[in-house]
Amino acid sequence: MDAQPPSDARPGPIDTLGRAVRDLRISVTDRCNFRCTYCMPMEIFGRDHAFLPHDQVLTFEEIARTARVFVALGVEKLRITGGEPLVRRDLPGLIAMLSATRRPDGGPIDLTLTTNGSALRALAGPLAEAGLRRVTVSLDSLDDAIFSAMNGIDFPVARVLDGIDAAIEAGLAPVKVNMVVRRGVNEASILPMAGWARETGVILRFIEYMDVGHSNGWRLDDVVPAATIVASIASTWPVEPAEPAYRGEVAGRWRYADGVGEFGVISSVTQPFCRDCTRARISAEGRLYTCLFAVGGEDIRELLRSGASDLELTDAIEAIWLRRGDRYSELRSAATSSLPRIEMFAMGG
C-alpha cells in the first residue's frame, strides 16, 4: 500500500525570499569510503575518524516519516545522500519505503540518489527494483592518477565506470555524472570527460570548486569559472544554452549544437543561484539544514523521538522554513568564508 502524506497536508511554506521547499536531500550516513579532497580530506579525516554512533543515526522509519511530512509541505523530489549512501546497510529497504510515498495530489515523488559509484555494480539492480528512479555518480576524471588525487584513496576509474554501466542496465537513467573541477588538479580532464559523456549518453555536470565546510583548503584561485568551462567545451563542440528543466534547477544547461546530448554547469561561486534555491537537507543525525553552507541546523531527531505528532513535526518544519533567508553564495566574502560551516559529508551534499 502506498504511504500517504499526513492527512493535514496544506500549502507549503514560503521563506523570506519567496522560495518554496521543493527538494529534500536526506543523508542516510556520514560514513564514506572515499576521502575526496574537496569534501573529506584524508589528512584531516583519517581512517580512524570517529563517525556517528549507530543510535544517533536516523532509522529508516524516522527518515520515511520525515519525508512524508516534507512531501505534504510541497516537496516533489527526494534525493538520498551521505557520506556515501551505499554503505548504509539494507538501503533498498529504505528506498522501497520512500518510493511508496505520494504527493498530496496522488502523484509519485521523484526519488533519486547521489553516490561515488563504488558499490553500484552490486546495488543498482536491487535499488531499481525497490523504486529508485535515477542516480547521480561523482567522477572527477577518467585518468586514474588524477582521479586518485581527487578521491584520496587510489580508487580505480574502471570500477566507477562499471558501476555506471550497472545503473544504466538497471534502468536508472539518464545517469548524471558530477565532476568537481579544481584548478591545478583536474581541469585538463574537462574535454575528455565531455567526450566520454557524449559517447555514453550520460549527462555530465561540471561543478565549480566550492567552499563547503571549512576543511578543504578552499581558495578562490582554485576555482575554474563556469564560463571558462563552457568556453573550453565550445572550442571543440559548438554549444547553445538550454532552458532550465524546472525552477530551482541548480545546473545551467547547455546542449550540443550537433544534437549529441547536453551538459550542465553548477556555478555556485561565479554565478550564484540562491534566489531560486528550493532545497532542504536532513543530516544522518536528523538535523535540518536550509543551506549547503550552513553553520548550524535544527534538531528534528529530538522531535521524532520525543513523541511529537505529525502535526507538531509539520509545524516545526514549517516554522524553520518560514524564517529562512539563506543566500550565502550571493554574500560570499572573506568574512563569511572563514565561518566554521558544517562539513558536506556530515550534512549530506
Least confident of 29-43, 95-109, 113-127, 316-330: 29-43
Question: Which DSSP category does 20 fall into?
Answer: B
Which three cell numbers, joined as nine digits, stand for 181? 573541477
pTM: 0.91
CATH number of 23-174+275-347: 3.20.20.70
User: Which residues are CB-neighbours of 39 under 8 A, at least 6 positions away?
Assistant: 32, 212, 213, 216, 343, 344, 345, 349
What are residue 334's phi and psi, to 5 degrees? Answer: -60, -35
Question: Which DSSP category does 37 fall into?
Answer: T
- pLDDT for the residue numbered 238: 97
Q: Which residue has the higher pLDDT, 268 or 147?
A: 147
Q: Where are the beta strands (DSSP E) in the chain?
A: 23-27, 77-81, 110-115, 134-138, 176-181, 203-208, 239-242, 252-256, 262-266, 279-282, 287-289, 298-299
* Domain spans, the chain: 23-174+275-347
Stretch 159-176: mean pLDDT, rounded?
97
How far is the C-alpha of 70 from the C-alpha of 38, rounded, in Å?
30
Which three cell numbers, joined as nine digits, stand for 86? 551505499
